[in-house]
């Protein structure tokens, strides 16, 4: 109700009697709200110009909330969602001949009832006003026009609704409501047109309605194959585009990684260690890319272990084969749990480092995550060593493997012999996900 000094954008106001058009307009023009309202009523009495203008503004002008939402998301669309006035009109003036008009789906936000009430009041006022002025509008004109407007509004509402659901990506659930709405709108329009043409002869209505429905069904039948073909072509084209995109991605990947590595290998052909390291790293990367599982959530224990092994492999140019059975999540569970798993990973990393440093031949890593424990085994085929023979100042084994595991409530066993060394790590009391 306040008088604005600057010129605010034209939006429908929340402070309203019917749809907030008048107060919104008043705010926009800098006039008093009641002045605008009375002007609107007066214009309505002049041959209904006011109501047409009102309806037009109602359709085209968004509410303040909508405008804000659009401004935040995307450029405003000229068709405002609330195309509800004619629908309301149809409901209130339509005789019981159209009981099928769906009343439920018309819920617009939370304001459906208020809008309805407003429309009823407005129409009542209109009827009284025209009655007072001595104009009698024949029912035969009002009913068909109302039906056509109502039907069109229903269909339009559907369009807008579908756009809105597309925006929210609400799939499937409300689709039958949409179809129902479309069907009801169509029926209303057909009935209205029929009525208008047949000159409001109610007895003809049924037959004519049937005939129009038959015509519509025929048209649908004729157009159906064409529509289906169009739809299929569209689908095929989309699939082709997806394939093309996939191919491009593969090509890009091969170029970025594989070709580069091959070039690098040719240049370093002299150094066997470098070539092996490059080839191995590339192999691992390609494998990861080819066989990766998108559904697997990140941060899983197995992935972390493999990443650590890859790191060790890259740093020392020595193959580390990882086999994992089961998996444990690093994202769930308590912080303390995650810290324990992290400690296990670090101990495993240390064991792998030891293995590649001191042993020749392949290093095998096996991890098994079961319901209540995680075991990690790191085996190499080096000459082996005595734990007690390791000097005190060598922190590697004693501190970062055995000590770390013990501190986090795990166990570490080192078995060493002439055939190689195996570091066995075990962390019990871990809740893991089933594999």
Partner 1 sequence: MSEPVSVVIVDDHTIFRSGLKADLDERVRVVGEAGTVEEAVAVIEQVEPQVVLLDVHLPGGLGGGGREVLTRSTALLPRVRFLALSVSDAAEDVVSVIRAGARGYVTKTASGPEITEAVLRVAEGDAVFSPRLAGFVLDAFGTAAVSDVADDELDRLSARELEVMRLIARGYSYKEVAKELFISVKTVETHVSAVLRKLQLTNRHELSRWAADRRIW
Binding residues for partner 1, per CB under 8 A?
287, 290-293, 296, 319, 321, 323-326, 362, 364, 366, 368, 370-371, 377, 379, 419, 422, 435
The CA-CA-CA angle for residues 114, 118, 121, to 5°, reads 140
Run of H or E residues at 285:
helix 272-291
CB of 65 to partner 1, least distance (A): 46
Q: Which is nearer to partner 1, 326 or 396 (CB)?
A: 326
Q: Which is nearer to partner 1, 142 or 286 (CB)?
A: 286
In sequence order, what are the residues at sequence separation of 6 or more whose Cβ sits closer than 8 angstroms to the Cβ of residue 13? 20, 23, 24, 27, 64
CB of 401 to partner 1, least distance (A): 17
Backbone dihedral region of 220: left (phi > 0), alpha (psi from -120 to 50 degrees) or beta?
alpha
CA torsion angle for 338, 341, 347, 351 (degrees, to 10)? -140
CB of 350 to partner 1, least distance (A): 18
Structure tokens at 172: 């499937």
Q: Which is nearer to partner 1, 13 or 364 (CB)?
A: 364
CB of 249 to partner 1, least distance (A): 18
Backbone dihedral region of 94: left (phi > 0), alpha (psi from -120 to 50 degrees) or beta?
beta
Closest C-alpha among 188, 233, 13, 220 to residue 86 = 188
Q: Which is nearer to partner 1, 176 or 291 (CB)?
A: 291
Q: Which is nearer to partner 1, 48 or 326 (CB)?
A: 326
Q: Which is nearer to partner 1, 226 or 291 (CB)?
A: 291
CB of 408 to partner 1, least distance (A): 22
Structure tokens at 83: 């195309």
User: What is the DSSP secondary structure assignment for residue 396, as one 8-state letter?
Assistant: I
Closest C-alpha among 81, 79, 21, 31 to residue 52 = 21
Distances from the Cα of 363 to the Cα of 47, 98, 113, 318, 354, angstroms:
93, 81, 73, 8, 10
Give the residues across from 366 on adjacent strands: 323, 377
CB of 303 to partner 1, least distance (A): 9
- What is the three-class DSSP state of 417? strand
Q: How far apart are the C-alpha atoms of 42 and 108, rounded to whole Å?
A: 29
Q: Which is nearer to partner 1, 36 or 374 (CB)?
A: 374
Q: Which is nearer to partner 1, 25 or 300 (CB)?
A: 300
Q: How far apart are the C-alpha atoms of 422 and 417, rounded to whole Å?
A: 9
Q: Which is nearer to partner 1, 223 or 325 (CB)?
A: 325
CB of 368 to partner 1, least distance (A): 6
CB of 283 to partner 1, least distance (A): 8
CB of 371 to partner 1, least distance (A): 8
Q: How far apart are the C-alpha atoms of 246 and 227, rounded to whole Å?
A: 29
Structure tokens at 221: 């039948």
């Amino acid at each position: 109700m306040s008088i604005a000094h600057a010129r605010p954008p034209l939006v429908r106001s929340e402070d309203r009697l019917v749809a907030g058009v008048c107060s919104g307009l008043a705010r926009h023009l800098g006039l008093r709200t009641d002045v605008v309202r009375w002007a609107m009523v007066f214009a309505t009495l002049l041959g209904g110009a006011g109501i047409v203008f009102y309806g037009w503004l109602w359709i085209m002008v968004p509410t303040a909330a909508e405008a804000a939402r659009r401004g935040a998301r995307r450029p405003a669309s000229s068709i405002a969602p609330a195309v509800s006035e004619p629908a309301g009109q149809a409901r209130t003036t339509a005789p019981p001949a159209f009981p099928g008009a769906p009343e439920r789906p018309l819920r617009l936000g939370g304001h459906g009832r208020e809008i309805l009430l407003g429309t009823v009041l407005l129409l009542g006022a209109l009827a009284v006003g025209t009655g007072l002025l001595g104009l009698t509008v024949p029912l035969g004109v009002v009913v068909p026009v109302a039906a056509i407007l109502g039907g069109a509004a229903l269909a339009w509402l559907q369009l807008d609704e579908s756009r809105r659901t597309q925006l929210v990506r609400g799939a499937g659930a409300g689709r039958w409501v949409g179809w129902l709405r479309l069907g009801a709108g169509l029926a209303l329009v057909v009935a209205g047109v029929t009525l208008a043409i047949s000159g409001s002869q109610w007895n003809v209505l049924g037959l004519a309605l049937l005939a129009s429905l038959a015509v519509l069904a025929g048209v649908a039948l004729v157009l159906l194959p064409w529509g289906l073909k169009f739809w299929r072509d569209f689908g095929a084209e989309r699939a082709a585009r997806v394939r093309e995109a996939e191919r491009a991605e593969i090509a890009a990947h091969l170029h970025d990684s594989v070709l580069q590595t091959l070039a690098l290998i040719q240049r370093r052909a002299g150094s066997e260690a470098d070539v092996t390291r490059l080839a191995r790293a590339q192999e691992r990367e390609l494998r990861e890319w080819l066989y990766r599982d998108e559904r697997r959530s990140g941060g899983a224990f197995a992935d972390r272990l493999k990443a650590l092994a890859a790191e060790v492999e890259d740093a020392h140019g020595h193959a580390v084969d990882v086999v994992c059975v089961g998996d444990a999540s690093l994202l769930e569970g308590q912080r303390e749990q995650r810290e324990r798993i992290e400690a296990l990973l670090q101990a495993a990393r240390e064991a792998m480092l030891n293995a590649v440093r001191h042993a020749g031949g392949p290093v095998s890593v096996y991890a098994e995550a079961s319901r209540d424990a995680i075991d990690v085994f790191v085996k190499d085929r080096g000459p082996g060593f005595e734990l007690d023979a390791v000097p005190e100042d060598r922190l590697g084994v004693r501190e970062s493997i055995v000590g770390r595991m013990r501190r986090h409530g795990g166990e570490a066993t080192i078995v060493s012999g002439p055939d190689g060394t195996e570091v066995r790590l075990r962390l019990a009391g871990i809740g893991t996900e089933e594999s």
